[in-house]
Structure 1
């Protein structure tokens, strides 16, 4: 006995009622529930759809779908950082490594100057303002898109909503590192390390807040084979 389209839609609604908001997770859970329900019907063909659904749901344990959602969120976060790392590596290979080196040299020159302390504060101030602005714009655009499509995808949420937080974390750890290190004028090796670190911080902020959001459609289609069908 197979499930009808009405049964499938009921399962989608069932996942939403249990606080699963992302369409890709809903689809994964619906497939799992559907297979379990059909297996249950083979053993108990007279069991109603609702009772079979509840029996299948009990297999998820006392926490319901929560464990599955947490596991998938962790897996998708790893995938997001994989995309981030893939884009970052491009800036350390020809021809873009020239830009990275030029940026590091620029930072080094400013850090060994008499204005190094002022430069640090100005740099992080500008970066914080830019990250805040980009985060606000990405969130606003994401909300508009979500209302129009009525479907939310986990990776898309990471791209548009979590990127800003990632940028601010970068700034926080960089500031802590600078506050805990030896004064810059005492060692050139430290200045070199910090120059590279500042360059990487700029690149990661640019990649997470500008580049990856622009490539979101491409990345979503790469991650979800069904994405194109659902958005056309």
Structure 2
């Protein structure tokens, strides 16, 4: 037995009442509920609409919606990290890696013009932090599409939190070996390479976010 448009709308509003803020999950859960209700109703037409809804909800369990949301979040995070590493790995292959190596060597050579190598490294990563500002603004302004929030878009924020954590440990390591860096300037080179890696993470994060926005708009027909 097929649900009417009004009944489907009722189920949709019921799903939203579970404080599921991600639009794609609202759509998915509504579809699951509707399909399950239609299946139950087909087997027992004597049931009322609300009885069928209750039986369908019981299939999910008391915390079924939240559990599915958590599972989907973990899956999307893994997929995003994998996609990001795949893009970065392309830049770490010949011949693209030559550009990264030359840039790291150029930055390393520039460090010789500074009396305090550790301060030079801090300034480099300070510059990387400044580059985060437009990237973070892009993430903030695109967190919604036509007023709807998407979990897949929200996942891209792990790029920003991940790189800030990365920079924290870089500065921590720099402070730990400050005197060694001062005596052996060659130790600056790994920090230069880490800077290039950080830039790659930032660039690929922005690229994947834009790609996700396009895919979401097409999938849910939100293109202007």
CA apart distance, 1:137 = 4.1
The alignment status of 1:126 with 2:127, answered yes or no, reads yes
Structure 1 distance, partners of 2:215, 2:99, is 25
Post-superposition shift, 1:188?
7.1
The answer to whether structure 1 residue 168 and structure 2 residue 164 are counterparts is yes
Query: 1:179 aligns to what?
Result: 175
Is the contact made by 1:77 and 1:158 (CA closer than 8 Å) also made in structure 2?
yes
Q: Which residue of 1 aligns with 2:28?
A: 28
Normalised to the residue count of structure 1, the TM-score between the two structures is 0.80
Match of 1:41 in 2: 41
Higher mean displacement: 7-16 or 116-125: 7-16
Aligned: 1:156 with 2:156? no
Unmatched segments (≥5 aa) in structure 1:
none
2: distance between equivalents of 1:83 and 1:201? Answer: 16
Distance, in Å, in 2 between the alignment partners of 1:87 and 1:28 is: 29
CA displacement at 1:14 relative to structure 2: 1.8
Kept after mapping to 2: 8 A contact 1:21/1:152: yes
Assess, with a 3 A threshold, how the Cα gap between structure 1 residues 219 and 177 changes in structure 2: closer, same or farther. farther
Deviations 1:180-227 (A, max 9, x none): 44722556774443332221112112322x333333344547xxxx61
Partner of 2:199: 202
CA distance in 2, matches of 1:53, 1:180: 61
- Unmatched runs of 5 consecutive residues or more in structure 2: none
Instruction: Say if 1:130 and 1:93 are closer, same or farther in 2 by CA, change over 3 A.
Output: same
Residues 228, 63 of structure 1: CA spacing in aligned structure 2 closer, same or farther, 3 A cutoff?
Answer: closer
Deviation at 1:133, TM superposition (A): 4.3
1: distance between equivalents of 2:199 and 2:164? 12
Q: How far, CA to CA, are the matches of 1:58 and 1:180 in structure 2?
A: 56
Q: Deviations over 1:137-160 (max 9, x none)?
A: 430x225x53xx23322212223x
**Aligned-pair RMSD on alpha carbons?**
2.7
Q: Could you tell me which residue of structure 2 aligns to residue 229 of structure 1?
A: 221
Moved more, 177-186 or 100-109: 177-186
